[in-house]
Structure formats: C-alpha cells, structure tokens
Amino acid sequence: MKKLLILALVASFVLGAAITAKADTEVKISGRMDFAIGWMDNYDFGDRLNDVSEDGFVTRERVRTQFEFIANENVRGVLQFEIGESAFGNPNARFDLSGDGVNVETKHAYLQFNIPNTDLLVSIGLQALTVPGVWGSQVFDDDVAALVMSYPINDMFTVVAFWARPYDLNSDTDNTQNGTSLRTVQNEWDEYDLFGLLVPITVKGVLNVTPYFLYGTLGCDVVGSVAGGTISGRNEAQGLLSLGPLTNQFNAARDLFDSENLETWWAGMNFKLTYFDPFTFAFDVIYGDVWDNDEILQREGWFFAAEAAYKMDFMTIALGGWYGTGEDGDPTNGSERFPTARPSFKPTSMGFDGSSLLGTGSFSELMSQGYGDNGGTWGLVLALRNISFIDDLTHTLRVAYYQGTNSPGCLHDDSAAFGPYVNYAYGNMNMIMLTSKDFAWEINFDHKYQIYENLAAYCEMGMVDITRSKKPWTDRTNRIWDNTYNWAAAKEWKTDTAWKLAFGLRYDF
C-alpha cells in the first residue's frame, strides 16, 4: 500500500506540473512501450554442472515515459520513469494476478542548461552516458549520476568532460556479517568515481573521430560490498576485477586489495570514415588498466574492432571483426582480459547485446551472460542489414564466428597455491568461457515490420553453437571455479546448441 501511495503521489506531481506549468514553460511528454515473447532452447548450452532444467518460454514488458520541462532554448529539465523490465506473472514485480505493479523506477532526472553568453552546455543529474564504439561501447554505456560539460570549439571540434559517481555507499551504519563489523563509520574508500575527457572531431561528409581518456578510482569498500552481495553491482566487479563466484565474502574481498582505492583508466579512439559513402569504414582501439599495489590483483588488456560496410538501395553489406585480449594462464601476474566498466557489446543479437527485444540473458547476451563485454574472444561477423524488397519490411542476416583468446592454462586449479586470489585472477564463472582451443558459430535472422509510423513489430531467430576442446576441460588438474565439481559426472566440454525464436512490439509516442 505504501508503494502504491508513493506512485500515486509521483503521478499527481507530474500531472500537476503539466497542468500548472508557467505560461513560458513548455512540457513535452514522450516515451516507449516494449513487449516481447519468445522461446529459448539450451540457452545455458547444456548446464551439466548444476543439472538445472530450463524454462524456455519468456514474456516481458517495459514502459519508459519522459517529461521535458523546457523554459527556453537554454534551460530544460528531464524526468524519465521506467516500469519493468518485467516478466508476465512475476510476483516480485506484481505483474501477477491482480497487478498492482511496484516496480516504477527513476531512470533519468537531470537539469541541462547553457552557461550565459557562452556555448558551454552543462548537464547534471541522473542521465545516460556513453563512450562511442563500432558495435556499442566496450567501456561504458549506461545511466549514471554525473556532471557533463560539452563545449563546441568550432564546427569541427567539441570537448566533452564529465565526472560520474556510479557508487557512494556513504553509510554510517554498522554492517555486520558473521558477527564481524565490516564498516562502522563513513570513509573515503566507499565511492567509485569516474572522470572522462572526449574530443569528438567531425569533418562533415568525410570522417568522425573521437579520442577519449577515462580515469576512475574504485574504493576497496565498494569492491568488498559488491563481492559480498551487499550492493547490486557484480557487473562492475566482473568487468573490472575478474571476480570469481564469491558469496558472502566481504572481508576476503575487502582485505585482499593492498590499495585503499584501485585506479582504473582507459585510453581509446573511435573512428568512422564516411568520405567514400556509400562505403564506410569504422574501427575502435582501446587500452584499459586496473591497478593495485599487488600485481596479482591487477588487470590490463587491449580491445580492437573494425567494420567495413557498403550501402545499396535494398540492403547494406558489412564485414567486421574484433579482438579482446585474454588470460595468459599465470595468476601471479594478474589478469590480461580487457577490463570494462559497464559495456554494451552488440556485434550479434543472440550471443551478444545487439537484440532489439527485451530480456538480457534470455533473448540476447548468451555469451556475456548480461555482463556486456567480449570475455576474452576474437570474432568475425558478416552482416546483411536492412534487406528490403517490400515497403516497411526489413530483414537482417548475420553469420558470426568467434574463438577464445584465453590460454587453456587459465583453467588450471591454482587455488592451493594462491588461495582466494585465483577467484580474482580467473573468476570468469559469470560468462561463457572460451579458451583459444574453443570456438563458436552464431546465426541471426531478424525482421522488422513498421505497422504504423509509431508502431513496429519484430521477429528474431537465432542459434549459437559452441565447440570446446575436450582436453583442457577434462584434465583433472583444471577446474571450473567450483570446489564441489563432480569430475565423474560433469561434461563441461560438451555443449548443446542454443536456439531462439522471439517476437516483439515497440510503440513510440
């Protein structure tokens, strides 16, 4: 009842604001409604380790509504709410019998204005923040509380600087676990701050280049809280630190790190050549680093991606590929897998994050398991995009091959020698692990029909087939990050083909 009252108050506030807005304030309302329904088979590729039965039928819904309060061309406020993403019948979100959903979220809430008599644009508050990439960002693409400043130097050069704070635990409560006090006072190590500088360079009709640099400080208490499950954020921990399957190990996670604040940084460039349009070429090159006083807990790596595309009247042909560094098999020298903060990697629509439908981990991201990065792989993608022979109906066909860049030696069980450190060096349990001896094929055949100007229907079909080399996965000196692994029964090197058939509707208003 309390949550319903809060929702009613929010609705009253928004409607009241629209009705009583000043005469010189314009209120714009826009949004999107997404619905998806589909079937998946073997989306865990045959979970023989835990022998979990699948429920392959999925239905989901998400609604986003945005209000813009525009005083003039120099000042506006943005407020966006989101309902979902929720599965039909989900009692936790109250999408079950009788409804009364309790999952209204604040997605965006920020102020945007120009500094008087300048071209400096300032945005402050909860907003979308994205680093550009060929197939989405491998560094950061999400909503976050931030201060963003953008200044166009001229028609070619723009400078964008930001400070974002993904986390600030800032708790003065006595958090205890197993009778042990974890943190009793506020401190300077319970934040995650991220700073960035981007310089978009645009030569119209010729090229777009964005060099960028990001620097972050990650407090050791944030690391411990994420690993211990006391806050939501295993995505960040997995992407930055290679956290293993830690459960309720706050002290272990907190005390492992010698540094009070871990330093993270990325230097990269996104490039797109349009001079020879309809032929275009794009590439990314990025280096990332996570630093701790103890080398065994450091992480650094490279990521490359490129795509060449040719646009014709009835379709676009594209050929591209990527490479992300993988583990070298020695946990004493840290991790070599490319670190990520909050990526969104979209070369395909089933194995990775390129789906137009809802359902992370259901309709897409099977390989990254919702963590959004490449997981130490290289790959090639041939795509025929926006094939159209009938008005308002388009199709996209993708064929992808990818292989691991992780050494088979990274499966070696070094827990006896290195204790909990191995969880950090090779804790890849939340992703589908591919060594350099393993490979996968993926095929997507996706369709879009524009029913009306604001209403579109989608159909996505796909398959992902993984082939693992038997020897690395059956060697008894190796492990699958589970001390209770049943060597006699588990056949982790054997996998089943994953299949998808899904439909969706999208209404923009």
Give pLDDT, residue 413: 54
Tens-digit pLDDT profile for the chain (509 aa)?
444 444 454 555 455 544 455 557 899 999 999 999 999 888 777 755 444 566 778 888 999 999 999 999 999 999 999 997 888 888 777 787 777 777 788 999 999 999 999 999 999 999 999 999 999 999 999 999 999 999 999 999 999 999 999 888 765 444 444 444 444 444 667 788 999 999 999 999 999 999 999 999 887 777 655 544 444 444 455 566 554 333 333 344 455 555 677 889 999 999 999 999 999 999 999 999 988 777 777 888 999 999 999 999 999 999 999 999 988 877 778 788 888 888 889 999 999 989 998 755 567 888 876 666 787 899 999 999 999 999 999 999 999 999 999 888 777 655 444 444 444 444 444 567 788 999 999 999 999 999 999 999 999 999 999 998 877 776 655 554 444 444 444 456 677 899 999 999 999 99
Centroid of chain to Cα 196: 18
Q: What single DSSP character describes residue 118?
A: S
- The reported pLDDT for the residue numbered 211 is 98
* 110 DSSP assignment: E
So what's the pLDDT on residue 101? 73
Rg (CA), the chain: 24
Contacts of 16 (CB under 8 A, 6+ apart): none
Distances 423 to 159, 190, 249, 407, 479 between C-alpha atoms, Å: 40, 22, 11, 16, 12
**How far apart are the C-alpha atoms of 166 and 142, rounded to whole Å?**
10
Neighbours of 358 (CB within 10 A): 25
In whole angstroms, what is the distance from residue 224 CA to residue 237 CA? 10
Q: What is the dihedral of CA 209, 266, 334, 248, to 10 degrees?
A: -120
pLDDT at site 167: 84
H-helix or E-strand spanning residue 314: none
- Tallying the residues shown for the chain, one arrives at 509
- Give the single-character DSSP code of 481: S
Distance CA 339, CA 237 (A): 10
pLDDT at 477: 52
Let me know if 360 is exposed, middle or buried by CB neighbors in 10 A (0-12, 13-18, 19+).
middle
Q: Whose CA is closest to 462, among 497, 499, 432?
A: 499
Phi/psi of residue 99, each to 5°? Answer: 70, -125
Q: What does the pLDDT read at residue 257? A: 59
Sort strands 75-87 and 121-130 into parallel, antiparallel or unpaired.
Answer: unpaired
Q: Please state, in angstroms and rounded to a whole number, the distance separating the CA atoms of residues 17 and 34.
A: 26
Residue 140 region, left (φ>0) first, then alpha (ψ -120 to 50), else beta?
beta
